[in-house]
Structure 1
Amino acid sequence: MAVYTDVTDGELESFLEAFDLGALLSFKGIAEGVENSNFLVHTEAGHFILTLYEKRVAEADLPFFLGLMEHLAERGVSCPLPVRARGGQALHRIAGRPAAIVSFLEGLSLRRPQPVHCQSLGRALAEMHEAGRDYALRRANALSLGGWRPLFELTGERAGVVEPGLGVLIVAELDFLERAWPEGLAEGVIHADLFPDNVFFLSNRVSGLIDFYFACNDLLAYDIAICLNAWCFEPDRTFNVTKARALIQGYESVRPLSGEERAALPVLARGAALRFLLTRLYDWLTVPDGALVTPKDPLEYARKLRFHQRVRSAAEYGVDL
């Protein structure tokens, strides 16, 4: 369960006094996610999500995230809407942590998405990219190319504990990506963490996108590469090219990719795999004592990285070149 900081009934009741949400009826921790402490809150006004920001989320970045959700919602993207207190504030504190309460979205996250879901996801991702084009605030991606080697150095000496030779794999990949990372591709606001548990569906169509706390400005095609990693591998570790083709076709039904973006997908997919390998490795080796959280397996992304290293062109992802 992703609860690093516990909240008492009294703390939450005092917190809610600043809002027009009525009395607290119940609340419970939410199992999904590994970055923040999340609670489903039920008040007389309905259901809401309370998030306490932990770990990698810098408090100075929170206006970017909260403002982005409002911006996207105003442009028709189904995403959580921050609930403002009577004084107009969206950002608050509870249990010693910065926190916000946001609207609850209907829908189900999928454990085994099918090609139809991947196509809907691709379309929703492109719609989000288009809606974010005129968002005024900017946030650099701290977990892109420039941040990977410093992150690895925090745990690199112990990588071999997870798998012999893992550190050698990572160093070689860092060397490659620092030489090969593409430049000059279209940039904009990306989600940067659009895993299946961050997407809700109703009747096989995306009903909402959640968890924008890694959103930033970066290469738009890098967001697609993250989704290829998160949505298109099967439990037996094979890559499902049918899902990948559907995802990209859904995306291009809204925003066609340039030839340069298509050609860059194998390198971007390697970078996306390395990014999640590194953050999972760090989490695996540094879980706080007593935290109600199960770290995710970093070796899942080591296997995905090895797959992408064998890819010679984006055609292997089902992309027309």
Structure 2
Amino acid sequence: MSEIKAAEVQAHGMGTTLVRPDWAPITLEEANQLLSRYPDLEPASALTWHSPRPFSSATIAATSSESLFIKRHHHSVRDKAGLTEEHRLIRHLRDRGIPVSDIIAGAGGQTAFEIGEWTYEIHRLAQGLDLYRDAVSWSPFLSEAHAYAAGDALARVHLAAEGYDAPPRAGRQLVSSFSIFGSANPRAAMAAYMGQRAALSDYIRGRNLEQDLDTVLMPLYSRLEPWLGKLEPLWTHNDWHASNLLWSDAELAGGTSSVETILDFGLADRTNAVYDLATAIERNTIEWLALEESDCQDVVHYGQLKALLDGYESTRPLSSEEAAALVAMLPLVHVEFALSEIDYFTGIVGSVSNADIAYDSFLLGHAKWFASPAGQQLLAFLEQRYGIHS
């Protein structure tokens, strides 16, 4: 296996083109410094792949007997305590038969190590094919069969997560939470959210957030509010995209693909099942980047949307209240992660241009799209599926 040179590594940007990564790739020397803290692991001889994901650095390290997945976070994004929160959830799901990644413990039984300004974790290579390794955000499934399998797997995660009662994550970077529009007073909750994030607060002073709340977001909340009390709190994945799933090769042999492993719980938090399902719809079945770059209106993959919901409800049927909440939540489900991205871009990597894209195209643009004919058609499709009369 040949080693990938650091200069060759590129990352996903805010569009469809690859860009120079914000975080330098992990080096072989760095990987072996970390591996020295794992008595049961051998040194690495080469790094054979670097992840294009933008918010951290990750690589596959080859040793004489196995390959390992190493991920590095800047401490301002994920410290040891924050990473351990994710690992506890993964361990809970693994204990209940969910096929999640196998996190390796090092010295002292630790699964997260801080070295200098970095926080590290190591996973064994998971089972399954990484068919979406190079897929950018909001790209669709390869097939309706994949959409169905993804829906079924998500429902199984939700059933397994019941009873996991860890408190919500407090003020973490790059977490997809539901504290603002999941509350009875979104304005006060928004103020509290800003109060924990100085860089976001500074940026928002130059925008018209109060006006955007009044004209774009609060009207959407008024439809969701009646259903909030019907949604049970639940720890959820919150980044359910095909690229965070590994797949069987059965389809290649004429069979039906299934999800073999579920990856990347970095955005996980205590939200609710409907929030996670709405996120899965928003991430996989609406091709936002195609809309933004070509002004194309035909961006919803309805066959995949139906298959995703069919797969989910084959394992965990939605109640009538959850179905109504799903329709109302979809136009708002992206908001808190958009705010978290803005905080990250302004406070950590110093990219106001990316923060502007996150605010204008992601935070506002996606919400506004649901008032367009195409967005209304999508909501009507869901209303018809569940017999909802708006």
Identify the TM-score tier after normalising by the shorter chain: 0.7 to 0.9
Alignment of 1:102-251 (within 5 A): 102-105=123-126, 106-110=128-132, 111=135, 112-113=140-141, 114-140=143-169, 143-146=177-180, 150=194, 153-158=201-206, 168-169=211-212, 172-176=215-219, 179=222, 180-181=224-225, 182-202=228-248, 203=251, 204-234=257-287, 235=290, 236=296, 238-251=299-312
Q: Residue in 2 aligned with 1:162?
A: none
User: In 1, distance between residues paired with 2:302 and 2:107?
Assistant: 50
Q: Residue in 2 aligned with 1:316?
A: 381
SS of the residue 2:37 aligns to: coil
Alignment of 1:226-305 (within 5 A): 226-234=279-287, 235=290, 236=296, 238-283=299-344, 288=349, 298=358, 299=361, 302-305=364-367
Which of 55, 70, 84 is matched with 1:63 structurally? 84
Which amino acid counterpart does residue 56 of structure 2 have in structure 1?
N
Q: Residue in 2 aligned with 1:90?
A: 111
Q: 1:175: Cα distance to partner? A: 3.1
Q: 1:227: Cα distance to partner? A: 0.9
SS of the residue 2:61 aligns to: strand
User: In 2, distance between residues paired with 1:94 and 1:30?
Assistant: 20
Q: Over residues 45-68 of structure 1, what are the superposed CA-to-partner deviations in whole Å (9 max), with x where a residue is unaligned?
A: 322221223344354232221122
Q: 1:185: Cα distance to partner? A: 1.0
Q: 1:277: Cα distance to partner? A: 3.6
Q: Is the 8 A contact 1:232 1:240 kept in 2?
A: yes
Which amino acid counterpart does residue 153 of structure 2 have in structure 1?
A
Which amino acid counterpart does residue 381 of structure 2 have in structure 1?
E
User: In 1, distance between residues paired with 2:112 and 2:50?
Assistant: 20
User: In 2, distance between residues paired with 1:313 and 1:263?
Assistant: 14
Of 91-100 and 305-314, deviating more is 305-314
User: In 2, distance between residues paired with 1:71 and 1:119?
Assistant: 24
Rate the CA distance shift 1:296–1:80 in 2: closer, same or farther, 3 A: farther
User: In 1, distance between residues paired with 2:381 and 2:88?
Assistant: 38
Q: 1:215: Cα distance to partner? A: 1.2
SS of the residue 2:266 aligns to: coil
User: In 1, distance between residues paired with 2:209 and 2:246?
Assistant: 34
Q: Is the 8 A contact 1:38 1:49 kept in 2?
A: yes
Q: Residue in 2 aligned with 1:16?
A: 35
Percent of aligned pairs sharing the same letter: 19
Q: Residue in 1 aligned with 2:65?
A: 45
Root-mean-square deviation (CA), in Å?
3.2
User: In 1, distance between residues paired with 2:243 and 2:147?
Assistant: 13
SS of the residue 2:58 aligns to: strand
User: In 1, distance between residues paired with 2:108 and 2:153?
Assistant: 33
* Structure 1 gaps, min length 5: 160-164
User: In 1, distance between residues paired with 2:220 and 2:338?
Assistant: 14
Q: Is the 8 A contact 1:48 1:102 kept in 2?
A: yes
Q: Over residues 162-201 of structure 1, what are the superposed CA-to-partner deviations in whole Å (9 max), with x where a residue is unaligned?
A: xxx8985456334345554423312212001122321222
Q: 1:239: Cα distance to partner? A: 1.9
Q: 1:223: Cα distance to partner? A: 0.3
Q: 1:297: Cα distance to partner? A: 5.2
User: In 2, distance between residues paired with 1:23 and 1:56?
Assistant: 27
SS of the residue 1:87 aligns to: helix
Q: Is the 8 A contact 1:190 1:217 kept in 2?
A: yes
Rate the CA distance shift 1:306–1:264 in 2: closer, same or farther, 3 A: same
Q: Is the 8 A contact 1:266 1:312 kept in 2?
A: no
Of 266-275 and 4-13, deviating more is 4-13
Q: 1:3: Cα distance to partner? A: 5.6
Q: Which protein has the larger Cα radius of gyration, Structure 1 or Structure 2?
A: 2
Q: 1:283: Cα distance to partner? A: 4.8
Rate the CA distance shift 1:140–1:93 in 2: closer, same or farther, 3 A: closer
Rate the CA distance shift 1:145–1:175 in 2: closer, same or farther, 3 A: farther
For this pair of structures, how many residues does the alignment match? 313
Q: Residue in 1 aligned with 2:100?
A: 79
Of 123-132 and 58-67, deviating more is 58-67
SS of the residue 1:319 aligns to: helix
Q: Is the 8 A contact 2:247 2:259 kept in 1?
A: yes
User: In 2, distance between residues paired with 1:313 and 1:262?
Assistant: 14
Q: Residue in 1 aligned with 2:293?
A: none
User: In 1, distance between residues paired with 2:355 and 2:348?
Assistant: 7
- Which stretches of structure 1, 4 residues or more, deviate above 6 A after TM superposition? none
* Structure 2 gaps, min length 5: 1-10, 12-20, 172-176, 181-188, 252-256, 291-295
Q: Over residues 129-180 of structure 1, what are the superposed CA-to-partner deviations in whole Å (9 max), with x where a residue is unaligned?
A: 1111133533347532436562664422455xxxxx8985456334345554
Q: Residue in 2 aligned with 1:306?
A: 368
Which amino acid counterpart does residue 116 of structure 1 have in structure 2?
A
Rate the CA distance shift 1:59–1:174 in 2: closer, same or farther, 3 A: farther
Q: 1:42: Cα distance to partner? A: 1.8
